[in-house]
Structure 1
Amino acid sequence: PDTALEAADLLRMERIGELIDQRVQTRPDNLYYWIFLAQLAQSRSDRSAAAEYFDNALGLDPKNTYLLASYAEALFLLDGKITTDRVREAVDRAFLADANNTATLSLKGISEFSESRFEEAIEFWERAQQTWPIDSDQWRSLQVGIDRAENALRPAEMEQVSTDKSPILQINLSFGAEVPHSREQRVFVAVLGRDAVEGDRMPIAARKLVAGDLPLTLTLSDSDSLVRSRRLSDQRFVQVTARLSGGGTATPQSGDWEGLSAIVDLHSEPGELRLEISGRRP
């Protein structure tokens, strides 16, 4: 039954499209005709027609932020999902008109990634993520790009900090009873160097998890170290922090839930460290 209804709706839209296609010949100044035809072309996956119709609509309303973003997206699809010069120009125009449009932010991220500006790509994609629920397909799709950009930021020598996976620190990680969370939310765990004299707190190792994995016992080794010259096994005093990200980003935000351990002396072989995410950032 659902399939039959969808087929009937599609047929009805096609008939309306034929009528509007005739009317737009005599009323080419009707903005909504061009928008309807563009959207209908998108539903048919007719990328060339969609780009042409959005371009015609922009001729009537060149500052319309929806049209600018839609035209940029249509060009991107038409050009085989490649950031060509005309795509980049259209994306920049759309961004100047509305720096918060979700589609434009996604395209800006793609544009920056294609130029190997990975930090900028992450920034745009994280901003776009904030407009979608964390359990949505759109949020997950953006996260795939963010993960790729984060991996690209780590040179090969840092990816291969050490092949030694011997456990150095074990963390029993859990949520406090009062902490609301969904299975898809991101949890960022970091080991901070903590020199007993200078109070230095530099990230030594890190791991990214999903909330649905907790509670769990996390084992960290030199393979989790971020920099070859600062291996986890070379440290003595460390602290562990774990943060449940409300927006799914690596940057701490107000309202995130987190936990911070006491200073741990790795040389004293503390065994399993217990860490609960139960405090909320102001």
Structure 2
Amino acid sequence: MMSLWLGVVLLCALAAVFVLWPLVRHGNRATENTEEQIADRLAENIRLFHEHIAELESQLAAGRIDQVQFDQLKLEQERALLADETDIRALKHNRIVRVGFKTLSVIALAVIVVAWSFYQHLGSSADVEIRQAQERKLALDEADYKAGRTPDPERARELARLIKERLTDNPEQLQYWFFLARMQMEVNDFTSAVEAYQQVLARDQESPMVMAELAQATFLRDGNKMSPLVSDLVARVLSVEPNNTMALGLAGIEAFGKQDYIGAIKAWRRTINLTGENTSGSQALQAGIERATGLYFAAGGTKESLAEALAGRQVIVSVSLGDGVDARPDQVVFVYARAWQGAKMPLAITRVKVSELPKQVLLTESMAMTPEMSLASVDAVEVVARISQNASATAQPGDWQGSFGPVDMKSSSDAVSVKIDQKLTQ
């Protein structure tokens, strides 16, 4: 804030110099020239008066005017001369320039004071202070992380205090409620964090991110216990954002608490696939997966049943060669499923050799190229088997291919047959 006010003062001073300096300079010159200007104007008026009187006398002598008219016109000239002299003498005491300088100085000062008062009432000095505090906190926290230290929580508390003061004046600041919730989470004040997240959700009721973070804060506030509110929030988030890792983590916890170990393992595995295996959160989830797996076996589950359950949606494909197909035994055969209508990227893919055909192939969710695009993401697929001329996953002219579809992923459990008998020309 000090830098802001220093800048304001400097700008005001610069503006004052531009406005007042010409007045000062002009005022000094006017004072110096006043006496000389008055004398010159008086002399000029007297000269003109004598010229007018001489002209009147010549008119009287020529008979163009009589004595009465002459006396009247001369009296008017004398009165005009006296009036002009009075006006010119008054200039000697005229302080317009100096009064103008002082007045402008007072007005300038008044404008600054009024502007400062309005800014204090309507301005955003508090926002500037919050932003500067945030920048300081980020810089200091980063330095602590690099040095292997835990950041000082007082920074988050101080920032939370500034945000609360700002929200007292303007409680409709959505971003400040969200920012306050994050700061409260950082200092483990989960009760205050829940209250702040509720304020955000009241103003943005459809945000999956806010619902997920509110669910997490409520879960922590309640001593790591799932509640109907948390379960409802998690369900709402996953219905619109299936890959929200925070909601997936809580869904896994809920499933684990209900002894649905397969559901817990699926949710946590999906979270790890989305966040990466090397994060601290993923390592904790991996430990949870191992515990859930052990409890599943202790409850009578087998490796085979676990593998089948974790496979999720799957398609059994019987692949065979058609008559007249020109292919070498060592050529690669790509077998994959793709959306029946939509993007052509494979949702599940595997490969076999021509020499292995005919063969039955199992396509599962775990064979997806990305977690977001798997057999679970669509309700109908097309199954394709293609012999590649150069082992490329991209179809090229000269490849042999066969396909079958649509396959209903919600109800179909029988194997589908695909015969490779079509040669690609383009």
TM tier, smaller: 0.5 to 0.7
Does structure 2 retain, via aligned residues, the 8 Å contact 1:76–1:83?
A: yes
SS at match of 1:154: helix
Q: Aligned-pair RMSD on alpha carbons?
A: 3.2
Match of 1:104 among 227, 237, 247: 247
Measured after TM superposition, the shift of residue 135 of structure 1 is 2.1
- Do structure 1's residue 51 and structure 2's residue 194 form an aligned pair? yes
Does structure 1 retain, via aligned residues, the 8 Å contact 2:249–2:268?
A: yes
Structure with the higher fraction of residues in helix conformation? 2
Letter in 1 for 2:275: W
Measured after TM superposition, the shift of residue 253 of structure 1 is 2.8
Match of 1:119 among 262, 265, 283: 262
Match of 1:68 among 211, 223, 243: 211
Measured after TM superposition, the shift of residue 34 of structure 1 is 0.5
- Do structure 1's residue 150 and structure 2's residue 264 form an aligned pair? no
Measured after TM superposition, the shift of residue 3 of structure 1 is 4.8
Measured after TM superposition, the shift of residue 13 of structure 1 is 4.2
Letter in 2 for 1:116: Q
Change (3 A) 1:31 1:158: closer
Letter in 2 for 1:54: Y
Larger CA Rg, structure 1 vs 2 = 2
Does structure 1 retain, via aligned residues, the 8 Å contact 2:153–2:187?
A: no
Identity of aligned residues (%): 28
Quote the residue 2:223 is aligned against: 80
Does structure 2 retain, via aligned residues, the 8 Å contact 1:72–1:94?
A: no
Does structure 1 retain, via aligned residues, the 8 Å contact 2:181–2:193?
A: yes
SS at match of 1:130: helix
Matches within 5 A, 1:76-225: 76-155=219-298
Measured after TM superposition, the shift of residue 49 of structure 1 is 0.5
Change (3 A) 1:35 1:158: closer
Q: Distance in 1 between matches of 2:152 and 2:178?
A: 18
Change (3 A) 1:28 1:158: closer
- Do structure 1's residue 253 and structure 2's residue 367 form an aligned pair? yes
- Deviation track 1:156-213 (CA, whole Å, cap 9, x = no partner) reads 5668xxxxxxxxxxxxxxxxxxxxxxxxxxxx9xxxxxxxxxxxxxxxxxxxxxxxxx
Q: Where in structure 2 are there 5+ consecutive unaligned residues?
A: 1-139, 308-363, 370-392, 394-426
Does structure 2 retain, via aligned residues, the 8 Å contact 1:91–1:104?
A: yes
Letter in 1 for 2:247: T
Q: Where in structure 1 are there 5+ consecutive unaligned residues?
A: 160-187, 189-249, 256-281
Q: Distance in 1 between matches of 2:367 and 2:217?
A: 34
> Could you state the TM-score of these two structures normalised by the residue count of structure 2?
0.36
Measured after TM superposition, the shift of residue 42 of structure 1 is 0.7
Q: Which runs of 4+ in 1 moved over 6 A?
A: 4-9
Match of 1:25 among 168, 172, 182: 168
- Deviation track 1:216-249 (CA, whole Å, cap 9, x = no partner) reads xxxxxxxxxxxxxxxxxxxxxxxxxxxxxxxxxx
Aligned length: 169
Quote the residue 1:185 is aligned against: none
Match of 1:40 among 180, 183, 187: 183
> Could you state the TM-score of these two structures normalised by the residue count of structure 1?
0.53
Change (3 A) 1:151 1:57: same
Q: Distance in 2 between matches of 1:8 and 1:129?
A: 27
Measured after TM superposition, the shift of residue 9 of structure 1 is 7.0
Measured after TM superposition, the shift of residue 7 of structure 1 is 8.5
Q: Distance in 2 between matches of 1:77 and 1:10?
A: 18
Change (3 A) 1:24 1:147: same
Q: Distance in 1 between matches of 2:368 and 2:163?
A: 49
Greater relative contact order, per chain length (Cα 8 Å cut-off, separation 6+)? 1
Measured after TM superposition, the shift of residue 24 of structure 1 is 0.9
Measured after TM superposition, the shift of residue 37 of structure 1 is 0.8
Q: Distance in 2 between matches of 1:32 and 1:81?
A: 27
Measured after TM superposition, the shift of residue 117 of structure 1 is 1.3
Structure with the higher fraction of residues in strand conformation? 1
SS at match of 2:274: coil
Change (3 A) 1:56 1:153: same
- Deviation track 1:116-159 (CA, whole Å, cap 9, x = no partner) reads 11111111111111122222211111111111221222245668
Measured after TM superposition, the shift of residue 252 of structure 1 is 4.5
